[in-house]
Structures are given as structure tokens and as C-alpha cells.
Structure 1
Amino acid sequence: MNKFLKYALVGALAAFTLVAVGCGGGDKKADNKIDMNKPVIVGVNPGPHAIIMDNVKKIAEKKGLKIEVKEFSDFVTPNSALAAGEIWANSFQHEPFLKATMKKEPSFKLANAFSTALFPINIYSKKLKPGDKIPDGAKIAIPNDPTNGGRSILLLAANGLLKVKNPKDITTTVNDITENPHNFQIIELEAAAIPRSLDDVTCAAINTTYALNAGLNPATDPIVKETADSLYVNIVAVQEKDLNDPRLKIFKEAYQSKENGDFIKTKFPGSVYLGWKE
């Protein structure tokens, strides 16, 4: 091989290498770039969560963020879908529930991104009217998941209907009831099924989402109401790696905007409370 051909081949190989490296770097940079034209998927439960998120979607779009709302009918799948990367965020739970999920599923690397609203859990009845006393020996249905079950027990304790070890312990369970002077029968059921059990029990603790879906009015129908100072404010959850995603700032601004706050107060007066300071 003559010197000219040898040097020509070396030069061509060097040029090819530079082009390849340049393309590779460009692709890597492109991979890290956020496409604002691509919608982020946010998981919610049907009912008030979905209704509010549809409003947030409109506000966020004016700020340059597109949101696709995906509904889940249970309390388990939204976190599984988030952990698997099938959705970008979810909005259906309070932080105690998220922590309980993370304890049960340590592989889930999920985090609290920001507070949304308080969806109170109240006591409803078809046999009693607001103002009536719950009779001795009453059958009271509560959710069978650890956080909302404990939340229901703390609600009963806060109203002097029974006593627990620590009235502020969000890990409270039926085993932490220290005094049950009215001999209530506490029946643990799946949260979504509790509204259908109202014919079979004296009363029941029902999450706002399921109460509204069952045609109950959280503002007027409960015989015992959870107050706005509850520890169970709902949140938006994301994967830990997305906590610094710039889209999250836009999402938070849209959710906690005055426009959305006014919407919530008008759409759900006395039923849903804002979880942030205006």
C-alpha cells in the first residue's frame, strides 16, 4: 500500500469516528430533552379526583403542559402503574397511604411531589340521620386497608365514640382500640364495596370519592364528619427520579392555582377542602 493511500484511509477513518461520536452525543442529548408537546399521563380515581384533574389539565395546557388523564377504579393499580413507568404521576392518595404502599412494596421508588386537596372520610348511614347518636352494639363498616381503616378509627375516637392508644398515630389499627364502651362491631371491608354495605350495617366510614360515586353528599349526609385539619391531605406522587422534572413545577402551579382552588370550592362546597395555603 503506497503512503498516499495509507494516509487517505487513516484520514477517512478519523473523520468517520468524529462523525459517529458527534451523532452519538447528539442522540444522548436529544434523549434527555423533554418534549413539551408530548402529554404526561396522570392517574386518578373516578369522581372528584378525575373532575378536578380535568380542570387542572385545562389550566396546565395554557402554561404549556399537556396532560392525559387516566382513570383507575381502585387504590392499588395507580401506584403499580406509576412504579412501572406506565404513568408519569398519580393523584388519588394521601401520604400515609403512599408510605404504607412503599413499606409493602419496597421496590417502588415513589415520592410525594406536592399537596392537592383533602377528601374527607365521613360516617354515613341509611338508618340514622345527621344528629342521631350511634346506638350501642352498632355495626360499623370501615375500609380494610391499613391507612384508611386507621383513619376511620381515629375519626370515631376524635368524636368520643371509642378510645385508642394514641389519637394522633396514623398507623392505628383495630388492635389499638383501648376502650369500646358502646360495644361497636367494627367490620373491615374493601373501601370500594362499603357504599353497597349500607343496608347491612348501622353506619360506615366512606371515602369522599366512593361516597360521591354512590350519590351521597359529603357536605350534608354524614352523621360524623372529618374536619379540614385532618392529617390525611391528598398528594400528587411521582417517581423519585422525576422530582426535579421541570414539568412538575408547571403541574403544581396549575393544581394549586387560584383558578383551580375556586373551581374546587364551587364544584364541591363543603365536600372537598384545599390542601394548600392560598
Structure 2
Amino acid sequence: MKKLSKILCACLLSLSLAACSSNDKPSDQTEGNNPTDERITVKLGVVGTTNEWWDPAIAALKEEGIDLQLVVFSEYVQPNRALSEGEIDLNAFQHYAYLNKEIEEVGYDITAISDSIIAPFGIYSKKIASLDELKDGDQIAIPQDPTNGGRALKVLEQAGLIKVDPAAGYTPEVKDVTENKLNLQFVQVEASQTAALLDDVAAGFINGAHAVDNGYTPNQDAIYIEQVVEGGDNPYINVIVARTADKDNETYKKVIEAFKTAETVKVIEDVYKGAYKPAFTLE
């Protein structure tokens, strides 16, 4: 009986240890490579349908368990509001000048966490082939938002058509025009609508995404294109933006890493033919 009792105790102890061992960690799962882990979804707000440069990042992040979803907005005023209200996690549609203006005027608590692209601003026309053909009193369509409208005026100044008050900085308004020898008339509309006005005006400014959406190739079709100098404090570099509280979010850092790759650069160069340029250097 004593021998039988010892044998039974030994068996019970062996079964107990085996059970404890099996509950510690499944043998087919390791930390960070768990097939049962929930996937992470990151919603990225963009404007327009021209966003192919995100395709390589979307594919790469999918392999890491991150689903990057593009949320498309039709107007520039929408993505910052959506980000601030928590409807999306990031946005990537605006340059520094527009972002800073929005923060100043609306009070959004949002922050640029990375540079992305540069989109040179172009002037287009269905009536003239060169700015030299503009006549006295001709109408020019420009975006009505302060930042892009101001940028349009600065481009016209760069082209030698007008002069603006230097005190207005990068975002002058029509009232800041100090010299206008051709008495050009400025038709101010929402940025997405300038292309639709080309039948009615002598020329108009079209932002990069809207230009491509309307079938234009800036380097080929614009009658004048903004001369952009990369680097420095260029206010027209586009950025990826997060809520300030999330600026150090590790998942968002992975999104940035997945974007800043040679694959992204190749898409920008092959698809957009100079309409956009990467605003980052490869490590």
C-alpha cells in the first residue's frame, strides 16, 4: 500500500507540473509574432484621389499587422477638423503654411510629425499659352483660402506680374497687392473649383492633387510653375500630421518609416512625372 501511495503521488505531481508548463506560453507563439494578435487600424485623412504614393506603405504595414486606411475628403477644411475630433488618426494633405494658419485661426491642437512631399503650384489656361499673353483686366482664378490664395499671389509676384507687401509674409491677401500693372482681377473660389473655371477666366491656379485629378501633368500643361527650393524653412512642404498628444505614438512612427522608402520615391517619380517631389531623403 505504501508503494502504491508513493506511485500515485508521483503521477499526480507529474501531471500538475505538466499542466503548469502548458499554461505558461503556447509553444507555437512568441512575443510580437502572435497569429491571434488583433490588427491595428490607422485612418489617414487625404484630399482628392491622387494618393498612390501611399500604396507601398500600405502594403509594407500590412505585413506588420497595421491596416493603413485612406479616408478621402473633398475639401481642405475637412481633414484637420476630423483629426481634431478623433474621426481619423493622421492626415497628410497640407503644407506647413496651411497647417500653421489653421492652428492659429481655429486653435487645433495638432502637430506635424514628418515631411512628406512638395507639390509645385501651377498656373493653367485654356486660352493662352504663356503669361506674356495676359491682357489688361484679365481674370485669374485663385484659391479662396488664405494660405493657398496667398501662395498664388506670391507665385504671380515670382513671375513678375504683381508685387505684394513684404510685411504680409508667405500669406498675403489681395488687399496686400501693391503693384498690378495689368490690373489683373482675382476670382477667389474654393481650391477644388479653380479647374472648373478655366473656361471663364484667362488663367487659374490648380493645386497639385486637383491638377492631376483633372488630367493635367504640371510639368507639361502648366503655363507657369512655381519655382520651389527644397529644404530650409520652406512653408510649402507637405506634412503628415497627428494630434499633439499622439506625436510620439509608436505605431505612427512605423507609418512614417514605411512611407520614407525608395519604393515611395519610385512611385512619385514614375506616376507623377514631376508633379510632386519627395520632401525627404533616404537613409
TM-score, normalised to structure 2's length?
0.81
Q: Secondary structure at the match of 2:225?
A: coil
2:278 pairs, out of 266, 270, 274, with 274
User: 1:45 — aligned with what?
Assistant: 47
* CA RMSD of superposed structures (Å): 1.8
Could you give the per-residue CA deviations for residues 2-27 of structure 1, whole angstroms, max 9, x where no partner exists? Answer: xxxxxxxxxxxxxxxxxxxxxxxxxx
User: 1:14 — aligned with what?
Assistant: none
C-alpha change, 1:200 and 1:130, in structure 2 (3 Å) is: same
Q: Is the 8 A contact 1:195 1:211 kept in 2?
A: yes
Superposition deviation, residue 116 in structure 1: 0.5
Deviates more, 1:180-189 or 1:222-231: 222-231
Q: Based on CA coordinates, which of the two structures has the bigger radius of gyration?
A: 2
Aligned pair 1:241/2:248, yes or no? no
User: 2:55 — aligned with what?
Assistant: 54
User: 1:220 — aligned with what?
Assistant: 220
Aligned length: 242
Q: Secondary structure at the match of 1:220?
A: helix
Could you give the per-residue CA deviations for residues 230-275 of structure 1, whole angstroms, max 9, x where no partner exists? Answer: 6301111100011110112211111111111111111111111111
Please identify runs of 4+ aligned residues in structure 1 that moved more than 6 A.
Answer: none
C-alpha change, 1:167 and 1:210, in structure 2 (3 Å) is: farther
Q: Secondary structure at the match of 2:40?
A: coil
Q: Is the 8 A contact 1:36 1:66 kept in 2?
A: no
C-alpha change, 1:239 and 1:198, in structure 2 (3 Å) is: same
CA distance in 2, matches of 1:47, 1:115: 20
User: 1:264 — aligned with what?
Assistant: 268
CA distance in 2, matches of 1:245, 1:208: 29
- 5+ long unaligned stretches in structure 2: 1-36
- 5+ long unaligned stretches in structure 1: 1-34
Identity across aligned pairs (percent)? 32
CA distance in 2, matches of 1:42, 1:272: 19
CA distance in 2, matches of 1:140, 1:204: 5
Amino acid at match of 1:208: G
Q: Is the 8 A contact 2:168 2:176 kept in 1?
A: no
Could you give the per-residue CA deviations for residues 166-224 of structure 1, whole angstroms, max 9, x where no partner exists? Answer: 29821211111111011111111111111111011000011011111112221211111
CA distance in 1, matches of 2:159, 2:57: 35
TM-score, normalised to structure 1's length?
0.82
Q: Secondary structure at the match of 1:271?
A: coil
User: 1:88 — aligned with what?
Assistant: 89
